[in-house]
Amino acid sequence: MLESWADGPTKSALVEFTERAAAAVAPEERVAVFDNDGTLWCEKPAYIQLDFLVRRLAEQAAADPSLASNQPYTAAAAGDLAWFGDAVTKHYNGDDSALKLLAGGVLSANATITTDEHAARVNAFFAEAKHPTLGRAYTACGYAPMVELLRYLESFGFTNYIVSGGGRDFMRPITTTMYGIPPERVIGSSVGLIFQNGELLTTAQPEFLNDGPIKPVRIWGRVGRRPLLAAGNSNGDIEMLQYATAGPGPSLALLVHHDDAEREFAYTAGAERALDLAETHGWAQASMRDEWRAVFSD
């Protein structure tokens, strides 16, 4: 039971909440939601999906050199992952200037292909790509303590969902293998789709940016229930954590704190407000350094 969690206040809070919810709440109402980037798997030095997208943007810039003078193609052609990471960090701090440029490239990167073709590109990426500093396959970058928490909750009748700002169709091909969460329980950002000749085709039109206050909206739209537990790690998860803890019954908000530079990364950028609110509202905080016996499964 939660073997990778060190004995301490966060593990105790998880156990106490789960047992209390199992005793007081009907099984069909036991819903837990988890952010993905930085909560279930590694998000530094850049988001895993950004690696996938940067490779595609670099391919496009190589095929059409005129693109390379504009962002995000300039950064992609130069392998400048820091630009992409900074764009997202700025977004979490209220500055969307770079994110708008990034979104334009991202939306067109894999447009006008079938959903099956998109899944094939994702699977091909995960079959060969590795984390640039940890030297692990990306599919081995899931956090062991969080996967244990998923199994623990399931043993008490919980249904787990991923609710991420990452792309829905980027996550779906690998969430069953990595987390035991099937595609139908993945809620993420998405582009519009059109039906044509028996196939669903991707477009360059945004459908949802599943972040911040949109997360609770999408949870209700897809699940139709308020979650009892929500886990996140950044400012983009605040509203989801607030939504879970505003209900009348047992609830728990869990914030993963990246403070382990030796085994993973230590950073607070993009999580400053979330950490402050965790202190104010008494949300559970999982210190990677102090409360995780292991970070990854080996």
* Residues 189-233 pLDDT 10s: 999 999 999 999 999 898 999 999 999 999 999 999 999 999 999
Q: State residue 274's pLDDT score.
A: 97
Q: State residue 4's pLDDT score.
A: 98
**Range 45-48 contact pairs with CB under 8 angstroms and sequence separation of 24 or more:** 45/81, 45/82, 45/85, 45/132, 45/133, 45/265, 46/81, 46/82, 46/84, 46/85, 47/84, 47/85, 47/88, 47/166, 48/131, 48/138, 48/141
Q: Choose among 294, 256, 291, 297: nearest CA to 44.
A: 256
What are the angstrom distances between the C-alpha of 177 and each of 33, 172, 189, 228, 271? 18, 10, 20, 25, 28
pTM reported for the whole predicted model: 0.92
Q: State residue 157's pLDDT score.
A: 98
Kindly give the pairing relationship between strand 229-232 and strand 284-287: unpaired
Q: List phi, psi (to 5°) of 153.
A: -65, -40
* Cis peptide preceding 72, ω within 30 of 0: yes
Q: State residue 106's pLDDT score.
A: 77
Q: State residue 92's pLDDT score.
A: 74
What is the chain's length? Answer: 298
Q: Which regions of the chain carry the CATH code 3.40.50.1000?
A: 9-44+136-291
What top-level class would CATH report for the domain 9-44+136-291? alpha beta
Q: How many CA atoms lie within 13 A of 48 on its CB side?
A: 30
Quickly count: other Cβ atoms within 10 Å of residue 61's Cβ.
Answer: 22
Q: State residue 125's pLDDT score.
A: 97
Quickly count: other Cβ atoms within 10 Å of residue 170's Cβ.
Answer: 26
Report, as ranges of residue numbers, the positions in the chain whose pLDDT lies below 70. Answer: none
Looking at this protein, which amino acid is placed at residue 129? Answer: A
Positions of E strands within 97-168: 159-167
Residues 6+ apart with CB under 8 A from 176: 182, 183
